[in-house]
Structure 1
Amino acid sequence: MMASKGGFTGPPMNPNLNPMNVGHPAGMRMPGMLQPPTGYPRSIPQFAQRPGIPPSRMGGPMGVMGSQMPGPSYGGGNLPMRPGMDASRKRFLHQQQQQEALGSLRRGAKRRKMADKVLPQRIRDLVPESQAYMDLLAFERKLDQTIARKRMEIQEAIKKPIMQKRKLRIYISNTFTPSKPEGEESEKVSSWELRVEGKLLEEPGKQKRKFSSFFKSLVIELDKELYGPDNHLVEWHRMPTTQETDGFQVKRPGDVNVKCTLLLMLDHQPPQYKLDPRLARLLGVHTQTRASIMQALWLYIKNNKLQDCHEKEFINCNRYFRQIFNCPRMRFSEIPMKLAGLLQHPDPIVINHIISVDPTDQKKTACYDIDVEVDDPLKTQMNSFLSSANSQQEIATLEMKIHETIEYINQLKTERDFMLSFSNSPQEFIQDWLKSQCRDLKLMTDVTGNPEEERRAEFYEAPWMPEAVGRYVYSKVSNGRGRSVFRCSHSKDALKRAFFFSF
């Protein structure tokens, strides 16, 4: 180390201070600070500091964020070095950085990507058989894309009603109970009982749908002359609290044949509407959902070119539309409102039946087949496919195993390279390994600089030394710890000694 040649003693040197991380240019001076002597050598020109940028982020050849200076590098690792920082504080920052790095690794482990399953090229060159795994990986990528596309298509398709037409067979039968003489335990008045039941033909599933679930309402109209105007109707209407049943039964007194009419209103999902006869003939649609009616109406407008050429939001009505909508021109936004007045409830299913009290006809059952719409069984399979969690869990488990296997292969490759390098050149390998361990030790123990080079006089004759001394002195002055250097003497000799012996 350099010894003092005069009576002027520079400020004590902090062994943990890194003169190259001070970050202040030598050309910057505080107010009231003595200017350096005219003959003081400068190796580089001054750089002005831009507003809003701290001095530690100055650019230029000597800036901390600029190009690296010639000579040995200072600083240990990525720890922020500040003059006068306590060693315990440095260790705390080092531990904090390690914890943040560990947390980021854990978060990254949860979000593994397809790239994590790719074998590195150096492993593929070493093991040619690994190409089969890469082929499987490429096939898996295509398969995942296909499944994802199909899943999206199913999600879009399941939003729309997927219906299937089936045959519902309705069974209508009745029984008659004659009156008995007085004294016997039986009905004193003759009565009949009507039963209305039904089931789907060729129902594939074991779970049978209740008969009442197909209808919104059921009305049985009996002969008004026999039962009067107040007792000739039997009505059932669906309510939010209605419990489904397999059939309906009606019991009334009587000993003569009764004519009855059954009115069955189907429960369409989504609801269907009956069109005005004029519009139905024009569009070719009798009873359909609102969406299907709007689609048929738009196709008619498009095919007949009724849309205005200049004002696209208007429709020019032809003579049929003028008769139906009672206007020569209308907007697209007015169609739903005008169409609402032309929609009616669909016609009920009408079944005429005679309730017979003849004992020979009681065993006869009338059957009627009607078309109903039920949910397509494919919709249930779609829902189960979208909501299946077992397959997703199994895939996630296999993905985790693949990632662990790839990590293990990379670890084995690193170990192989380690041992192969040692076997090729043991001496060079040991030297490189010791250098690496030395660098790691410096990072762990917060040792800065290079003690082996700093103990030699040539180290302090490097061309970057004058600028480093200037930066160091200026940092001392700006931090308030080196003002005593300039209080002793204002002479040029004292200033020179302050520059050289304060390091």
Structure 2
Amino acid sequence: MSHPSSAPAASSSQMPAPPPPSSAPKRKMTEQDALKHSKRFRAHVPPLPVILNIPESRMYQDLVQMEQKLDWTITRKRAEIQDAVARPTKTKRQLRIYLSNSCVLPETSDVSGLDRSPPRSWTLKIEGRLIDSGNPRQDKLTKRKFSTFIRSIVVDLKGPNYTMAGPTNGNLIEWYKPPSHPHQDGFTIQRPLSPSHDSSEGLPCRILMQLDYDPPRFKVLPQLADLIDIKEDTKASVLQAVWNYIKIKGLQDKDDRRRVRGEGAFGKLFPNQPSIPMHILPEIINQYLTVPDPVVIHYTIQTNVEKYTHPRCFDVEVEVEDTNRSRGNAILASFAEEGAKEVAGLEEEISNLSIAIRNARTKRDFLQSFSNDPSGFIHHWLDSQARDLSLTLGVESQGGFPNRGLSAEDLRRSELFHLPWAEEATVLYDGAKLIELQLKAQQQQQTQRR
């Protein structure tokens, strides 16, 4: 019995974790610090007067900082789990195969001398299961049917005078896994015996099983295997090994990095070519890959007993998916499901409360200013409203300035025209003049047409 070669463990460097947020020593928060602090946080952080005047709001800020650290840690761990799940991690397990056969023997004829026994036949059973690893949880997650590990089975009957009864008239029994087929724990082959077969002689056969790998594995031909020291592996691993060989030997063309030079033993893979483009390298490598060797079991079907079980069982090394991958998928799913709606609802509620606090703060400041100085507040408020209305409507007054609500003393000061409203007023004034000129031009055109 031959065994499939062991695949090298896939290696992948973990994604470097970014440094956590720096934690500076706490000091007393000034007004400017609080303003920067409130801008750096999200929208539902309490506004500046609330942070400065309400002691309990500092507890909320600490909770927000803690939430940020937790979000950072969860995001980093999620990225690490996604990286681990994306890697094709496999574990080695033993698949135990059992062989047995039964045979229908001829019965003694009755009183009339007629042989009423059914025709002689034999039945071969090929069964298998994974050997327990000793970890009940892992065994439960990796429980699979025998046919999931097999891609094809060929039974070669080697009897000297044996031919199968039926239209095929051959000594080969073949089975290939169809695209959609219910999985099973074993295979049963039943065939009639030739009338000329001597029951005292066994029926030797050879069972060839091609294992089903995911991703597919290939046998590397000696011309390439001697270079990369790989006998059997996946196509991606073989290409990676070839690329490592090219880098170690310095075979990449220095003038044109898109080409590979064929020097030494590597040049024997593509003879009569001094160099090849990099993009055709996979096609050349495919020429040196073939199907892996099958698992071969020699067995003799006993035709002189009703039931026979082979005294030996056969262990074959197979690859199964690591249970940690399924656990990682479950953890990633829990990130998206557990508490997501609840957290989103709380975030929305906090945002609404923050908006309500801002509105209440604005009303409070408005009423408090009015209660402290009613007359001055009203004059200041009227001046502000008049200025805004003048800027919005572009109303002109003395000297062509939008001076409603402005005193003569204000107009004499140059600082007045460096305020933000001056630029906006200029834009509005220019726009109003432009519209007025366009209207006059349209009126003149209409007059000329008449």
TM-score (norm 1): 0.59
CA contact (8 A) 1:173 1:365 kept: no
Residue from 251, 256, 275 that aligns with 2:190: 251
* Residue of structure 1 in register with 2:351 after alignment: 403
Residue from 192, 212, 231 that aligns with 1:267: 212
SS at match of 1:119: coil
1:196 aligns to 2:142 (yes or no): no
SS at match of 1:117: coil
1:460-479 equivalences in 2 (<5 Å):
479=440
* Residue of structure 2 in register with 1:39 after alignment: none
Structure 2: distance between partners of 1:186 and 1:428: 126
Amino acid in structure 2 at the alignment position of 1:237: Y
1:257-406 equivalences in 2 (<5 Å):
257-327=202-272, 329-331=274-276, 332-357=278-303, 359=305, 362-364=308-310, 366-387=312-333, 389-391=336-338, 392-406=340-354
Structure 2: distance between partners of 1:281 and 1:475: 88
C-alpha distance after superposition, 1:38-88 (max 9, x if no partner) = xxxxxxxxxxxxxxxxxxxxxxxxxxxxxxxxxxxxxxxxxxxxxxxxxxx
SS at match of 2:160: helix
CA contact (8 A) 1:421 1:429 kept: no
CA contact (8 A) 2:262 2:268 kept: no
* Residue of structure 1 in register with 2:196 after alignment: none
CA contact (8 A) 2:149 2:211 kept: yes
* Residue of structure 2 in register with 1:132 after alignment: 59
Structure 2: distance between partners of 1:321 and 1:476: 82
1:174 aligns to 2:101 (yes or no): yes
Query: What displacement does 1:343 show?
Result: 1.2
Residue from 175, 188, 208 that aligns with 2:143: 208
Query: CA distance change for structure 1 residues 225 and 129 in 2, over 3 Å: closer, same or farther?
Result: same
* Residue of structure 2 in register with 1:74 after alignment: none
CA contact (8 A) 2:149 2:212 kept: yes
1:32-71 equivalences in 2 (<5 Å):
none
CA contact (8 A) 1:181 1:188 kept: no
Larger relative contact order (Cα-Cα within 8 Å, sequence gap ≥ 6): 1
Query: What displacement does 1:293 show?
Result: 0.7
Structure 2: distance between partners of 1:118 and 1:225: 89
* Residue of structure 2 in register with 1:237 after alignment: 176
Q: Give the CA RMSD over aligned residues.
A: 4.3
Amino acid in structure 1 at the alignment position of 2:144: R
SS at match of 2:283: helix
* Residue of structure 1 in register with 2:448 after alignment: none
Amino acid in structure 2 at the alignment position of 1:408: A
SS at match of 2:313: strand
CA contact (8 A) 1:275 1:344 kept: yes
Query: What displacement does 1:258 show?
Result: 2.1
Query: CA distance change for structure 1 residues 264 and 359 in 2, over 3 Å: closer, same or farther?
Result: same
Amino acid in structure 1 at the alignment position of 2:163: G
Structure 1: which 5+ residue stretches go unaligned? 1-112, 484-503
Amino acid in structure 2 at the alignment position of 1:344: T
Structure 2: which 5+ residue stretches go unaligned? 1-39, 133-137, 194-198, 398-402, 413-428, 445-450
1:118 aligns to 2:45 (yes or no): yes
* Residue of structure 2 in register with 1:50 after alignment: none
Query: CA distance change for structure 1 residues 157 and 316 in 2, over 3 Å: closer, same or farther?
Result: same
Query: CA distance change for structure 1 residues 379 and 436 in 2, over 3 Å: closer, same or farther?
Result: farther
C-alpha distance after superposition, 1:397-449 (max 9, x if no partner) = 232222223223334434544565466x274587479859987xx99xx9x99
TM-score (norm 2): 0.65
Query: What displacement does 1:124 show?
Result: 1.3
Amino acid in structure 1 at the alignment position of 2:294: P
* Residue of structure 2 in register with 1:109 after alignment: none
Query: What displacement does 1:149 show?
Result: 4.5
Query: What displacement does 1:231 show?
Result: 3.7
Amino acid in structure 2 at the alignment position of 1:259: P
CA contact (8 A) 1:177 1:190 kept: yes
SS at match of 1:217: strand
Query: CA distance change for structure 1 residues 312 and 427 in 2, over 3 Å: closer, same or farther?
Result: closer
Structure 1: distance between partners of 2:299 and 2:267: 44
CA contact (8 A) 1:174 1:356 kept: yes
Query: CA distance change for structure 1 residues 347 and 196 in 2, over 3 Å: closer, same or farther?
Result: same
Percent of pairs with identical residues: 32
Amino acid in structure 2 at the alignment position of 1:390: E
Number of aligned residue pairs: give it: 355
Query: What displacement does 1:193 show?
Result: 1.8
SS at match of 1:249: strand
Query: CA distance change for structure 1 residues 480 and 343 in 2, over 3 Å: closer, same or farther?
Result: closer
Query: What displacement does 1:294 show?
Result: 1.0
* Residue of structure 2 in register with 1:82 after alignment: none
CA contact (8 A) 1:476 1:482 kept: no
> Which one is further off, 360-369 or 250-259?
360-369
* Residue of structure 2 in register with 1:38 after alignment: none
> Which one is further off, 129-138 or 153-162?
153-162
> Max radius of gyration: which structure?
1
> Which one is further off, 214-223 or 181-190?
181-190
CA contact (8 A) 1:182 1:188 kept: no
Query: CA distance change for structure 1 residues 377 and 482 in 2, over 3 Å: closer, same or farther?
Result: closer
Structure 2: distance between partners of 1:390 and 1:477: 61
Query: What displacement does 1:375 show?
Result: 2.3
CA contact (8 A) 1:318 1:328 kept: no
Query: What displacement does 1:265 show?
Result: 0.7
Structure 1: distance between partners of 2:162 and 2:376: 112
Structure 1: distance between partners of 2:382 and 2:156: 103
SS at match of 1:362: strand
CA contact (8 A) 1:261 1:353 kept: yes
